[in-house]
Structure 1
């Protein structure tokens, strides 16, 4: 035999052993590529992740953004643009407890809001006007429904993301054992003259965690990093197109979903939604034109399917921005005013219309801050005469 001639009497066993060794090595290699932690598995995983990142970057790039927005679900997964992500908002505040003395029969808690820095930017291209709301709450055992005891608010400071307040608030008749059960809720808001005030960031300070607050009557100056607000009020479906020949931009307000109207509006029967769109100057933030849809009565998932038209030159598309806001109409106030027939001054003042309530908003345009909002706008510019429809989050 051939194996006996070349390998001697043990040739057959040598060949069988070599074949078994080759099969064993092959199985080990397959197991290495399938078992997490092995070198082969990690190499394949890294190569696969690199390919996926390249493909995702290609989909999200401006050159291929039209394909992204063909699917509404894909649009909601775009990364959020936050230029201040690495610079957290900081609050400087002071706390002081003055115990009862001969002059002060009861104790006093003094809260000072000194300054803030690195507040988040506005949704659209306009300066901030931040103010701070301070609430003293009594903590419960689960911290879910704290009881609000006292509320304060600072003044607004215009045109700055790092306001200086230096305002103090005093709570009188406070016992030391009560202070240990209290917490100070600090919330920064941006005053918006066109829509709802935007919650920027929040902070809760349990007073029992402030060292030496009850043992030392001195002023305790404290610095805290605040948490960026993630409050959302639902979603709105918008379809936008631009006609270069007619120099006209159309915005189709399709429908709303998952609208969080409570507690701003007490019940569904009081929620009468409509959408108001403001065309703003992208440099100054001033209102140029406004239009709105019809309102629907007591509808939690309203469908409008209305198209609002704005005349725009191609050059204006670089600066113009749109603020889309969802409002609830106060129908009861209008009905009461119609029923009033007296011309006396008292009756006229009593039947004045109450203002409608803004639920949430979203900004569209080149100056918008959000990644989805910017991408939607650039997709419209790159696809003239085509309606680009995207879900947006109300804030």
Structure 2
């Protein structure tokens, strides 16, 4: 009986030993998992961001109508207290509770300061770029303009340029704009924002946020573009488009600023600049270009085959001198659009070759109530695509459009191609 009792005692100790080892294993696993998570988090924070640019907001509310003055984006309470103590009385500061009925900020008596960065800038840059820098005389001349001159003036844009040699990054800071015209006739104010494009390749397109109901917007937004060698800076051009947001229609274009970077030296640090906003340069041409299309009507299947072949002599709708055209095809029945197609975008060319075929089913017998519309547009990822030219083919169309339509009706099952002049969109 003694051996049996000893074996039972040994079996009773096994669950206790297994529980102890399980507890130690659980604690070790949790500790290892926490350590791995911390290592991954630290490694992610040290990596270079994979995107092309970094957008930074500094101390300005994103939506001034929804946030109070205490809620700042990208700044904590301690930094705000330091900035308030170090900020002089005549510097620019957005106090949302001091706006008037239209939402505009009251103008201070002295306008010799544009932003805090302008105060802390070294006098060396001002000596080198007198025509580009901010001077009290230039600001006084702006404030002393008559009402007639202010109507002709579109305002001034303030910005800074910098090149980070460690990260090989080009940095553009859009500081503010002053003296913008009122695009809303009812409230006599604007909702401005700025689109910026690096030309000529147009790979980098960015835009600021919209500031509501102000003619002197203070954006203070920084855009950092990685992967641009310093040797290529001289070949680039900055294009700023100043617009006013419109909720119910296309945004109003206030003006533009074009900055060729040739001859601008950024090796000595940040460069502060200002430029007068000019009217948008609408490049007119003798025509809107031509479009080659081929049509074939199949009476047996009651289908219309449309081939968009080529476009040539398209106008320069972009400031870079080149367009990114594509064609949108709309089919109408009794003046109601029943189908739509579009071609691929052809990059940077005034003479595009598409060679794309579309087949439309006709809902009625014959082509009497059918018309087809071709819209040639310039692709723009940052805003709405601009219409370069328009072409309409149908029984009621005039000129070559009506003649082409008459031929495909008289000769079904025959593919007929013609060049057509585009009209204004």
TM-score by length of 2: 0.33
TM-score, normalisation: structure 1? 0.35
Which structure shows the bigger proportion of residues in helix conformation?
Answer: 1
Flag the structure with more relative contact order, 1 or 2, with Cα contacts below 8 A and sequence separation at least 6: 1
